[in-house]
A and B are shown apart, each in its own frame.
Chain A
Amino acid sequence: MHLLAVLFCALATLLSATTAVGYQLIDEQSYGFPIHNPFQATIAGSPVELQPQLIGNEQIKQKDYQLRLRPEREQSLPSNFWPVKTLHYRLAKQKKPAPLIFIIAGTGARYDSDKAEYLKKLFYGAGMHVVQISSPTSYDFMAAASHYATPGYSPLDAQELYYVMQTIARKHKNLPVTDWFLTGYSLGGLHAAFISEIDQQQQFFNFKRTLLLNPPVNLYTSVNNLDQMANVELPELYEGHDFYQDVFDKLARYFEKRGHFNFDQAILADFQNSPERFTDAEMAMLIGTMFRFTATDINFTTDLINRRGLIIPTGTRITDGTSLTPYFEIALLCDFSCYIREQLLPFWQNVFQAGELEDLIQQTSLYAVSEHLRTNKNISVMHNQDDFILGAGDLTFLEQVFQDRLILYPYGGHLGNLDYVKNADDILEFFHD
């Protein structure tokens, strides 16, 4: 009796000991990802020789399909929006019964963006059916699938994604699916977390496993970081010279020495070893610029669809020949935080609740689903210690919520190590039975 009590106590300590120790940290010494600069890693990705063996496109049975979800937009949207009046997605089918995985693309990215394509090859090679879906922040999703076309409020974005996923599943109901999996990278990871919670209530898919890849924790922190990166101080920039010209001059000098022009991944690594290499500030600016262009597209598209008149004066007639450059210039002036202030927040207050910015941030960030993430052992997250979309305290939050379901890598920046062989193994391992 006495001994049993002791045993029980000891067992309890043992259990609490293993659950309390926390996340899985990949040790710096053994982790072989060679790029230790977070900005370069983000731009260049893994060196080709350290990428996993992927299946060739020729061996993938895949097709792009489209859904007519907003027939009213076919009339109401200008004709130059013709490519995005239906929602396109890509499905790769296996020949025999297999699990199906949904991939949700990142900020502003379409279903066929490089990262989604990479993940498709990885999962298809491991024997899964794969469906790739555009991000709700991508202009095709906004135009073809979203009711309000004002992305950024995660519960609503996830609901619309969920509807798209259900429609796709119904359309291919003869496809023999054994299990449902879900993943998303960057903002798509945040969406996946919200979708997982919706599905727990509605029980349509009953996802067997969900993996979040480098998601933002506090969405406002992430967009502020990215906004900031486009405003980085560039010391060498002298009067009358612009940033792109600087970048191109460097590239031109480099290629002149090299003797021929051919820009690919391998070249970038070589370039960073040359005297012309980009500084951290320049690389941050390049990354910030890419995200800023997404903000630009969102600003323009949401204003046009909702006819808010902030960028395009209401009543403007736009045809195939209309120059959009003047609107491009106006939309460029507004970054993500400006978009939230001027379009998302007023919209959310109108349609959802009369809250403050802080309430919106709370409800649209990972905090809003923390209970779901804490209690569901089939959801994991992978992140990097040097990912610049995170802020102070974000990793602590992930650690507390996910505990041993957080896999943390020492390097990689934002998704730069996604195509590194060790990460690829870990991703497949997670979905493996």
Chain B
Amino acid sequence: MTKPVLIAFILSVSASLSPPLWAETLEDAGFKTPLKQLEFTPALEQYQFERSNFAALQVHDPLELVNRHLYHFNYKFDQYVFLPSVRAYRYVTPKPVRTGVSNFFSNLGQVPTSANSLLQGKFKRAMHSTARLLFNTILGVGGLWDPASKMGLVKVKEDFGQTLGVYGVPEGPYLVLPFLGPSNLRDTTGLVTDFFGDREVNLINYAEISRRNPELYGLQIIDMRYTTELRYGQLNSPFEYEKIRYIYTKARQLQINE
């Protein structure tokens, strides 16, 4: 009489000991065969992948030899000069100051964005951008804090290269610019225009001040690098040049069509 009771007791203890997590025996541990619902092209008819990639590699790049040398130059400059400067900048400058500096320059960046939004006939966008600039300049003491972000006005970038693209100017040959990286003929024209347009609009006298204090340009460039996420080598491929070329070209098309 005692035996079955004891066994039953021990079994019940063992049952309560095993946590509820233990799975019941499922067929193949419940594997859901996720590929089963897809259809695959038979081996001899496979071409989508190849065709898509060959098409993607067709980027007009007549200056490839020079571009590749510049790509390596930029990569090395980034590794040995640019990024160490950014690290030093991080080391000597406390974070709130760095954030302030970044906000300051990114507000200056709103000047070409507003102008280009107007030029592209995107008035609502221009209003948005302008409102953002006003908020930041008035509320945020020269833009040192970024109240507009907190108020939900998301940062939108427009540049003159994009404006040209909207009006149908073709992108032209792919170019790698020294220090600046991937571009094309149209966007390079845009970049130059924006740079000088920037000088014309004398927002809080920055153009004037920076002419007298060239080190501000240095700070602007370091800050630009500080706020740019791109790291050469990050695509981790011997074909990084091709991949950046493709991504740049496509991303610009997306921006222009938006």
Q: Which of A8-16, A122-130, A157-165, A417-425 has 4 or more CB atoms under 8 Å from chain B?
A: A8-16
B72 close to A (CB within 8 Å): yes
A252 close to B (CB within 8 Å): yes
Chief secondary structure at chain A's binding surface: helix
State whether B236 touches A261 (Cβ < 8 A): no
Tell which of A13, A108, A229, A256 touches B258, judged by Cβ atoms closer than 8 Å. Answer: A256
Tell which of A280, A332, A390 touches B53, judged by Cβ atoms closer than 8 Å. Answer: A332
The residue of chain A having its C-beta at the shortest distance from the C-beta of B240 within the complex is A83
B168 close to A (CB within 8 Å): no
State whether A38 touches B34 (Cβ < 8 A): yes
State whether B238 touches A18 (Cβ < 8 A): no
Contacts of B7 in A (CB 8 A): 6, 10
State whether B238 touches A10 (Cβ < 8 A): no
A262 to B251, CA, bound (A): 10
State whether B64 touches A395 (Cβ < 8 A): no
The residue of chain A having its C-beta at the shortest distance from the C-beta of B49 within the complex is A230
A413 to B64, CA, bound (A): 40
State whether B38 touches A232 (Cβ < 8 A): yes
Chief secondary structure at chain B's binding surface: helix
A138 to B255, CA, bound (A): 32
Tell which of A108, A260, A280 touches B37, judged by Cβ atoms closer than 8 Å. Answer: A280
Residue from the set A10, A108, A256 with the largest chain B CB neighbour count within 10 Å: A10
Task: Count contacts between A and B, CB distance < 8 Å.
Answer: 212
A179 close to B (CB within 8 Å): no
Least CB distance, A103 to chain B, in whole angstroms:
16
Given contacts A10-B11, A333-B50, whether A297 and B31 have CB atoms under 8 Å apart is no
Contacts of B11 in A (CB 8 A): 10, 13-14
Contacts of A245 in B (CB 8 A): 52, 55
State whether A228 touches B33 (Cβ < 8 A): no
Contacts of A112 in B (CB 8 A): 234
Q: Which of A203-211, A316-324, A362-370 has 4 or more CB atoms under 8 Å from chain B?
A: A316-324
B29 close to A (CB within 8 Å): yes
Least CB distance, B131 to chain A, in whole angstroms:
15
Tell which of A297, A321, A390 touches B238, judged by Cβ atoms closer than 8 Å. Answer: A297
Interface string of B40-60 (1 = CB under 8 A from A): 110100101111111111000
Least CB distance, A76 to chain B, in whole angstroms:
15
A26 to B30, CA, bound (A): 11
A23 close to B (CB within 8 Å): yes
The residue of chain A having its C-beta at the shortest distance from the C-beta of B58 within the complex is A325
State whether B31 touches A394 (Cβ < 8 A): yes
Interface string of A139-168 (1 = CB under 8 A from B): 110000000000000000000000000000
B196 close to A (CB within 8 Å): no
Interfacial residues of chain A within 236-258, with CB under 8 A of chain B in the complex? 237, 242-245, 248, 251-252, 255-256
Interface size for A (C-beta < 8 A) is 93
Contacts of B37 in A (CB 8 A): 280
Interfacial residues of chain A within 394-413, with CB under 8 A of chain B in the complex? 394-396, 398-399, 404, 406, 408, 410, 413
B88 close to A (CB within 8 Å): no
Tell which of A22, A323, A385 touches B64, judged by Cβ atoms closer than 8 Å. Answer: A323
B10 close to A (CB within 8 Å): yes
A80 close to B (CB within 8 Å): yes
State whether B18 touches A325 (Cβ < 8 A): no
Least CB distance, A12 to chain B, in whole angstroms:
10
Least CB distance, A294 to chain B, in whole angstroms:
8
A339 close to B (CB within 8 Å): no
A233 to B43, CA, bound (A): 11
The residue of chain B having its C-beta at the shortest distance from the C-beta of A140 within the complex is B236
A75 to B170, CA, bound (A): 43
A sample of 15 inter-chain contacts (CB < 8 A) reads: A6-B7, A10-B10, A18-B14, A21-B23, A22-B25, A242-B55, A300-B238, A304-B238, A321-B68, A323-B65, A325-B57, A385-B32, A387-B34, A395-B30, A399-B29
Nearest first, the 3 A-B pairs at minimum CB distance are: A25-B23, A395-B29, A242-B52
Interface positions of A (Cβ within 8 A of B): 3, 6-7, 10-11, 13-14, 17-18, 21-27, 38-39, 58, 80-83, 108-110, 112-113, 138-140, 225, 228-234, 237, 242-245, 248, 251-252, 255-256, 259-262, 280-281, 284-285, 288-289, 292-293, 296-297, 300-301, 304, 320-325, 328-329, 332-333, 385-388, 390, 392-396, 398-399, 404, 406, 408, 410, 413
A13-B11, A233-B40, A410-B30 are known contacts; what are 12 more A-B pairs with Cβ within 8 Å? A14-B10, A23-B29, A25-B21, A80-B238, A229-B38, A242-B56, A245-B55, A252-B254, A261-B258, A300-B238, A320-B72, A408-B30
